[in-house]
Structure 1
Amino acid sequence: MITARLRQWLSLVACVLTVISLKTEGASVGITFLQDAVAKGAVCLDGSPPAYHFDKGSGTGVNNWIVHMEGGGWCEDVETCLSRKKTDLGSSNLMVKQFGFSGLLSSQQKSNPDFYNWNRIKVRYCDGSSFTGDVEAVNPANNLFFRGNRIFEAIIADLLEKGMKNANNAILSGCSAGGLASILHCDRFRALLPATTKVKCISDAGFFIHAKDVSGGQHIENFYSQVAKLHGSVNNLPESCTSRMGTRPELCFFPQYVVQTMQTPIFFINSAYDSWQIKNILAPSAADKGKAWKSCKLDLNKCTPAQLKVIQDFRDEFLLAINGAGVSNSSSMGMFIDSCYAHCQIGKQITWSSDSSPVVGNTKIAKAVGDWYYERSSIKKLDCPYPCNPTCPKVDSESGLDV
């Protein structure tokens, strides 16, 4: 009996110490619901208020800000948006109240030396359009709100009032659909901040390419076109891009067309073998009726030689898109393109800056981003072709990551 009670007591003490440790580290950050935004129509798919997690800066970082936008795909039709509405990706009512900050958002100086004491904000994603949608009317048949752009504007306005208007340094970042949002909203973010603020953007796994699938079809092009039409996104895509695309402004969902005319410095962290893109752009289920790619998509070691050739060609196409956007030759843009089968790499310590983090050119992602932001050196890191990099994690980084 004594042993059992002692075990229970020790377990309770361990839990308390864990909570204290998390609070001390700033790892667990409470949620802020932006109730005032509802009156402006800036709401999630279900009409609930937008939300974010905010860990305040300190010391030398008190006037420096990172706004990081959560990812989580898109919804392209009423059916998928209704399903999404029942999750935390469509309703703030279903979001966790505490969120662990790690990687780029970590408060630990050792693991995040360049940004640990900045004001760090994680914007929750609940609109399904990479924060681009704005449809005034709400169909009573489905009661869906397509207001992603209003969410972006409302949250940035709120943060400006909370001190970001005095920022010395500011970064707009994001992962996956949030990484795409950090590209699409980068110049607007710059315009909303004082001219004296040093503003840059970071896109993690957000450089989705305009490519054909394994059947020769245009799956991802059609998908983004549906997203743009449903959410009314076109008016909120960068005008510097849409004005050049003629009758196809929705193609400005693809970064390769947007980045060419961007004015604000931006850094791209991406795998040339992005696991989400291989699964959903190159070999989506709709283009693989016979499921020939099923095993290969889960583990590149299980790909046939013919499939690996297609995947290597996809890498070539990805690099062509990056180079065509002018990233390689730009003095203000930076990149860290590794060969890991991964998607999103800055939100977790294991891939951001740890003993197990991927290395390209003797550099880890955290150091590459810091060197680029503070202009300690020009960062254009490009990995060799798969499977050359032994530092890549052995697991698909989509699992449980910040997407």
Structure 2
Amino acid sequence: MLTTIARIGQHVGQEVRLGCWLYNKRSSGKIQFLQLRDGSGFIQGVVVKAEVAEEVWENASQLTQESSLYITGSVRADDRAPSGYELTVTGVEIIQIAQEYPISLKEHGVDFLMDHRHLWLRSPRQRAVMAVRSEVIRAMYEFFHENGFVKVDPPILTPTSAEGTTNLFHTKYFDEDAYLSQSGQLYMEAAAMALGRVYSFGPTFRAEKSKTRRHLIEFWMIEPEMAFVDHEENLRIQEAFVSHVVQSVLKNCERELKTLERDTTKLQNVTGSFPRISYDDAIKLLQEKGSEIKWGDDFGAPDETMIADHFDKPVFITHYPTEIKAFYMKPHPERPEVVLCADMIAPEGYGEIIGGSQRIDDPELLEKRFAEHELSEEAYRWYMDLRKYGTVPHSGFGLGLERTIAWICGLDHVRETIPFPRMLNRLYP
């Protein structure tokens, strides 16, 4: 019976067949211990020389790291095994004896591993990260499906920018200028006016020459937009959304988090309402700690970390100055110098994972913002139409997938959170 390692527990006491690769091997002379992987997990296969045909023993002896094979054996439960099960091998059918594998079971430098990213993905740690990534995406879709959102796909090639063109990749669209999308938000606002509550999920591109552990050139964003939702309800939805995702990972990726040696105690706190601190109070807090930051400055990574350290779960920093935020954010009705926005800062030094706001719904104010930000009214005419024909209060947010995964997994750098990272000096493989 052909099965997978992930389903091996369904076949205790039965003989099964696996398609797999050899991850590692050790031998005591009369017993060979084969560490096997098939993409769904890892399991040990035990080959006892006295109990198998000579051909089976010889085939097992030939196997090199990452050789591919079909293996047959009986499944038995074993509490000592990481997977909880072990395979008593009765047959080994070689598919290919792999050449000397570049990534040996020892320490390698990051550049070497990134050059061999296509192979590094096979390691237990990287497989665990990708499995968590998959679960995060599944949980996101689940949350939106259960809460009445409709998925809408915005374009990747755009004629304009959501937040200015300084950090966009420029290309030619036949005889017109075009850009790779840095956000689908503006298009999602249009979709929200048609469908009520919507979300998009796809790749976005930022041409920022940044080398920090939080930045990628190409990354994935989930961007909900909601008609008839104000700033306060927007924050409540974000709390529920992030809590759902984190709790789903804790429930469904216990083995992967263990592989990553992730301390999950802080993740268990991610539920219910999240603490909030206003921009004003955050500035005071930083100044009390000796920072020279002043009102009107944006927060850097060290500032966000210093603020987050005061809380045991994600924290909202609310009501940033109007001048340092995007043109589409709605001013506070009683304090027009600040906007109805919030950044969600993850604990443990992982920084901003969500940026969101209530959007401007007043057409006159939006026209004023176009002039202040020197935006082309012709290019954004369609966006203005949303305010001319049935404008309503509406809000939205964007969550960066890779930063969220880095936080949940406890990773040092976002480069491990995406299968093939694109960074300032890396376009290969």
TM-score (normalised: structure 1) = 0.22
TM-score (normalised: structure 2) = 0.21
Question: Between Structure 1 and Structure 2, which shows a larger proportion of helix residues?
Answer: 1
Larger radius of gyration: 2
Question: Between Structure 1 and Structure 2, which shows a larger proportion of strand residues?
Answer: 2
